[in-house]
Chains A and B, each alone.
Chain A
């Protein structure tokens, strides 16, 4: 089954005709994702990459039956694009855009709250179910199909983890890049929960970073639901000084609880296999699977 996206997902691209949107739409199509069209207000009725362009998401959904959207709209208009997709009945929205004002995201998050929609991101690499659908900007060849789920705040660190998993002779069910912004649609716990409930996922890699309490909340969930599947965890930013923002808008140590050390401690106490070094993710997963007697 995998989660969020699969071979049946019909994907539209918001910001389709822009340079980022065009480039990555092309990459997604090459990967085999069922991209059914795109939205660029004012360019409706035209064709781009041999696919129809629509003025509104609503029209795109009506005409194509799209259920997934990926957003490459510039930061000033991205929150609006999220709300438009939710209003049009899209079920999974993946927002790649980096640099959306926090105030806009507060509004967007509130707007989509009671609608039947899952938002991934913003400021994320997207979601990939290897061999079925890539709805994101990740290099597809790194991700080989298998039974390990990945949840990560970071882009390239997700690729790093996937690469190690694959080189360890394993594969990936679905990798979810949840995003590095202060406000994101699907926090760590919700993403981990999806993979815990996925019959095609045997174990999970959970990668976090400094700032916020998402990893702590996820750890509590994992412990309280009885550690159903092995989880290997890593927190980036053990050497980050307090009060300084490390690239991602959300990556800042504000208090004692959101340091890497504090998060790793909570994760360990919750039965997660925490690695100190990001180079050990693959080995730790092999070991965790052996301990649990899983042949993934």
Chain B
């Protein structure tokens, strides 16, 4: 589960990780009040106004701006709140900005030059261990650094039995070329950051940039936190950070019916049992000349209720020109699924797109017979090839 920058920073701060201080605001007036309070608390004279959406690349898209006085705070907040921000991660439709973070300016001049770094923590799937990635190229996309100058990325793998060792935090601070107070601060920063990552059951932390200020403080200017969905049951406080407005409304509806749905841009909807077969069915649609309109895994028990909920989801998408249902009935019998499909179809009534139902497994012939004799605009198939051919036919 993704959370907003301001929420991520709250978590970091509670673990003793220094952050660029800020206050979240819903309106331009609140933004001005937040700016005044920040000036009192931190002494900052300038403010950074940052759009709060679940996507990176906000700066380039015009969602992060510097305000040098309160008048500008109001103007910029007014401009960003309610804008549809388009970044390389939002897709062309962009995302509506509902909140801004009013943050202190941390790039103030002083005894030394401010310097930016990159830090992230994630799971190395192959090793089955967490890894801290660090780079001196702060502010740059890590993918770009990995491609152009991989030698600038250092990795520290964490032994699951003993956790992050102090020498590992020191190695990172040395690699950043830090000394004195800044070195000590960085060791503390990395140590507390890893503790926060573990305690919150996160699957990814990305702090880009980490800043060494002109007075040798180390702080997180941005923070991207991705929480492990499977662990939210033991973090009720973190689960409450979910922002449904950031999610596709159809996906939210699907999750209520315990369906696993991902909206895509194509013209053929699909409903499948099992994630792997669902992806394979999307591929079949593409090979048959269509484009998948969605990923939809109805799970093991494909009954009339789940099939109907699935139908309703798919039919809400106006791009859908045909639907392919692909169920491999193992434990669940094909005749029961077929009856469920017919029942759901009749309950919904007005379905204007052709439906291909491929049922394979226990009682497959019986399932096909029920579909064929239903008198509905539904085509049956047993083998996957047959299903692919029928998709081709209805699209032609």
Partner-B contacts on A (CB < 8 A): 27, 75-76, 99-107, 109-110, 137-139, 141-142, 152-160, 163-164, 167, 180, 182-183, 187, 207, 209-210, 212-214, 217, 234, 236-241, 243-251, 255, 260, 276-280
Contacts of A107 in B (CB 8 A): 160
6 nearest A-B pairs in the assembled complex, by CB-CB distance: A154-B276, A247-B275, A139-B330, A156-B274, A101-B231, A236-B279
The answer to whether A137 and B331 touch across the interface, beta carbons within 8 angstroms, is: yes
Q: Are A255 and B275 in contact (CB under 8 A)?
A: no
A243 to B203, CA, bound (A): 14
| Contact between chains at B278 and A247 (CB < 8 Å) | yes
Q: Are B287 and A248 in contact (CB under 8 A)?
A: no
Smallest distance from the beta carbon of B129 to chain A beta carbons, Å?
7
- Residues A237 and B279 in contact in the complex (CB < 8 Å), given A277-B388, A278-B284: yes
Partner of B201, one of A101, A180, A236, A244: A101
Task: Please state if A239 and B361 are interface contacts (CB–CB under 8 Å).
Answer: no
Residue pair A163, B360 in contact (C-beta under 8 Å) = yes
A residues near B272, Cβ cutoff 8 Å: 156
Known A103-B228, A110-B128; contact A160-B275, beta-carbon cutoff 8 A: no
Residues of chain B contacted by A246 (CB below 8 angstroms) = 262, 275, 278-279, 295
Q: Which residue of A lies closest to B286 (CB)?
A: A239
Which residues on B sit within 8 Å (CB–CB) of A109?
128, 160
Q: A155-B274, A160-B328 are in contact. Are A183 and B230 (CB under 8 A)?
A: no
Query: B175 an interface residue at 8 Å Cβ cutoff?
Result: no
Q: Which of B123, B262, B266, B388 contacts A182 (CB 8 A)?
A: B123
| A-side contacts of B331, CB under 8 Å | 27, 137, 139
**B282, B328, B383: which has the most chain A beta carbons within 10 Å?**
B328
Total A-B residue pairs with C-beta atoms closer than 8 Å? 173
Q: Which residues of B297-346 are within 8 A (CB) of A?
A: 297, 328-331
Write the nearest CB–CB distance from A88 to chain B, whole angstroms: 20
- A234, A246, A247 pick with most chain B CB within 10 angstroms: A247
The contact string, 1 if C-beta is below 8 Å from chain A, for chain B 354-396, is: 0000001110000000000000000000011101100000000
B117-153, CB under 8 A of A: which get 1 and which 0? 0000001011011100000000000010000000000
Q: Which residue of B lies closest to A137 (CB)?
A: B331
Contact across chains for A103 and B231 when beta carbons are under 8 A apart: yes
* B198 located at the interface, meaning its Cβ lies under 8 Å from any Cβ of chain A in the complex: yes
- The closest CB in chain A to the CB of B159 belongs to A110
Contact of B276 with A248 in the complex, beta carbons under 8 Å: yes
B71 within 8 A of A: no
Give Cα A159 to B285, complex, Å: 20
A108 to B297, CA, bound (A): 28
**Which B residues lie within 8 Å of A212 (CB)?**
125-126
**B53: shortest Cβ distance to chain A, in Å?**
15
| Contact assessment for A160 and B282 in the assembled complex, using a CB-CB cutoff below 8 Å | no
For B274, B284, B291, B362, the residue with the greatest tally of chain A CB atoms inside 10 Å of its CB is B274
Contact present for B280 and A234 (CB under 8 Å):
yes
Chain A min CB distance to B164 (Å): 13
Q: Assess the B276–A156 pair: CB atoms within 8 A.
A: yes
In the docked arrangement, what's the CA distance between A154 and B126, Å?
18
Whether the pair A139, B362 counts as a contact (CB closer than 8 A) is: yes
Determine if B276 and A155 form an interchain contact, defined as CB atoms under 8 angstroms apart: yes
Residue pair B128, A154 in contact (C-beta under 8 Å): no
Do B279 and A240 have beta carbons less than 8 Å apart? yes
Quick check: B125 and A182 within 8 Å, CB to CB?
yes
Q: Which chain B residue has the least Cβ–Cβ distance from A187? A: B126
Complex contact B283–A213 (CB within 8 A)? no
* A152 engages B276 (CB within 8 Å): yes
